[in-house]
Amino acid sequence: MSETPTPRRFTASGPLRGTMRVPGDKSISHRSLMLGALAIGKTTITGLLEGEDVLATAAAMRAMGATIERGDDGTWTVHGVGVGGLLQPAQALDMGNSGTSTRLLMGVVASHGITASFTGDASLSARPMGRVIEPLSQMGAQFTPSPGGTLPLMMRGCLPAVPITCRLPVASAQVKSAILLAGLNTPGITTVIEPVATRDHSERMLKGFGARLEVEEAEGADGPERIIRIHGDADLVAQDIVVPGDPSSAAFFIVAALIVPGSDLRIENVGLNPTRAGLIDVLREMGGQIDLLNPREVGGEPVADLRVRHSQLHGITVDPALAPSMIDEFPVLFVAASVATGQTVTSGLDELRVKESDRLSVMATALRAIGASVEEREDGLVITGTGGTPLAGGGPVTTHLDHRIAMSMAIAGLASTNGVSVDDTAPIATSFPTFEKMLLERAS
């Protein structure tokens, strides 16, 4: 990511109209590269998200022995080394801003007999890694992190690793995925128990690549829980993967079309995995007109085209049980709530405090700076909307190197009187390099 800040002012726009596609799903793109590198044979990937986070994953897998190339037509090929075949990287693995790359690759390395050093940018280096370090240490991996359990971090994998049963104290798809990836090269059965279902791309894709994996819904002492078991010493088989459009990227344009008068926008090929589609359910409950067209399945993932029209939204109390299915979309939901009628109440969002930034605090400060009425609570925000009146605007708002904060405040600028200044749009390249260009095209 560029070290030079790129400030920009986003101003009120005309209606968002026409048809568009957002880049490929980031979660699936990461996992396609990792699993392709751990498979035997040639994996082809169409629609890979070519943001900086995903490219960091590609570079790391290359450094550990996989051959990864991009064709002129945008198709990526991965020649894997097989589970257990990773090589010692010659240099530190630079994760940039990508928490997903870091945590999942720590899982991959944990059950290989190699040592790897992980580094990252200032934002990533402030993020805690303890939730991943603890279970992987139980499997035998050894860690030397920086004070506070952060990057830079050195780890030594364990061969053979020890299978564990890990009950996650907090729902986290990244921690779950790290343990399952470590379990691929671990003799026996590695088990993860999660209190609520988190995004399940890892489970779907591990099965697709040939891993033996079982998922069971059970009644635990504190209510329903989800049990995932993966059988070790796995042999993965190369696949041809078509990556659907990222629902987290589509979220910004969905909210923009809902809050900008006169908008009627079609977003094609959006992934609608039920563990990721919570935002659409919440926005519909708020009165948003979002139609699902041509629903279909691509590579085991549900996909549809979305038609989104300007709507007068109203505040609701968001069910905290939905949080895992829309955890990355809350910043832009807060923008929608700011111009809705009445009060929107969110809770159960402790996870947002340990993302690229403390997204609860940062969004509360940013929205207040542009005229929104926001109360910050320990685990959520309470936002009293304007009833459809544009926000005053202002800034510059501080994004704290967080791509989703930058994009959310850009969308807020479209529904403001005086525009919204963002201190740095450079972080957007980590997940959505074409965001500003597409926004200009749709909102001109």
444 has a pLDDT exceeding 70: no
Q: How many CA atoms lie within 13 A of 402 on its CB side?
A: 26
Look at residue 238 and tell me if it is in a domain.
no
Which of 182, 202, 233 is the last residue in one of the domains?
233
Q: What range defines the domain where residue 415 resides?
A: 8-24+245-442
3: Cβ contacts below 8 Å, ≥ 6 apart = none
Assign residue 298 the CATH number of its domain. Answer: 3.65.10.10
Judge if 392 and 264 occupy the same domain.
yes
Q: Say how far residue 211 (Cα) sits from the centre of its chain.
A: 23
The residue from 200, 328, 423, 424 that is catalytic is: 328
Q: Which of 87-96, 216-225, 429-438 has the highest mean pLDDT?
A: 87-96
Strand partners, 374: 383
Neighbours of 295 (CB within 10 A): 10
Judge if 315 and 192 occupy the same domain.
no
133 has a pLDDT exceeding 90: yes
d(CA 97, CA 79): 26
* Interval 232-247: pLDDT, tens: 999 999 999 999 999 9
Domain count for the chain: 2
Q: How confident is the model at residue 3 (pLDDT cuts 50, 70, 90)?
A: low
Judge if 20 and 30 occupy the same domain.
no
Give the pLDDT of residue 293. Answer: 97
Look at residue 2 and tell me if it is in a domain.
no
280: Cβ contacts below 8 Å, ≥ 6 apart = 247, 254, 272, 290, 306
Beta strands in 141-271 (DSSP E): 142-146, 150-156, 165-167, 189-194, 213-220, 223-231, 236-237, 240-242, 264-271
Look at residue 93 and tell me if it is in a domain.
yes
Look at residue 135 and give its three-state secondary structure: helix
> What residue numbers does the annotated binding site for 3-phosphoshikimate cover?
26-27, 31, 172, 174, 328, 355
Could you tell me the CA-to-CA distances from 357 to 128, 296, 345 in Å, in that order? Answer: 11, 35, 21
Look at residue 306 and tell me if it is in a domain.
yes
Judge if 270 and 153 occupy the same domain.
no
Residue 93 and residue 118 in contact, taking contact as beta carbons nearer than 8 Å:
yes
Residue 179 and residue 135 in contact, taking contact as beta carbons nearer than 8 Å:
yes
Judge if 168 and 268 occupy the same domain.
no
Beta strands 150-156 and 142-146 are antiparallel
Judge if 122 and 138 occupy the same domain.
yes
Judge if 294 and 219 occupy the same domain.
no
Judge if 257 and 179 occupy the same domain.
no
Look at residue 164 and tell me if it is in a domain.
yes
* Interval 287-327: pLDDT, tens: 999 999 999 987 778 999 999 999 999 999 999 999 988 99
Look at residue 96 and tell me if it is in a domain.
yes
Query: Could you confirm whether 328 is annotated as catalytic?
Result: yes
Judge if 215 and 263 occupy the same domain.
no
What pTM does this model have? 0.85
> What residue numbers does the annotated binding site cover?
26-27, 31, 99, 127, 172, 174, 328, 355, 359, 404
Look at residue 319 and tell me if it is in a domain.
yes
Judge if 388 and 256 occupy the same domain.
yes
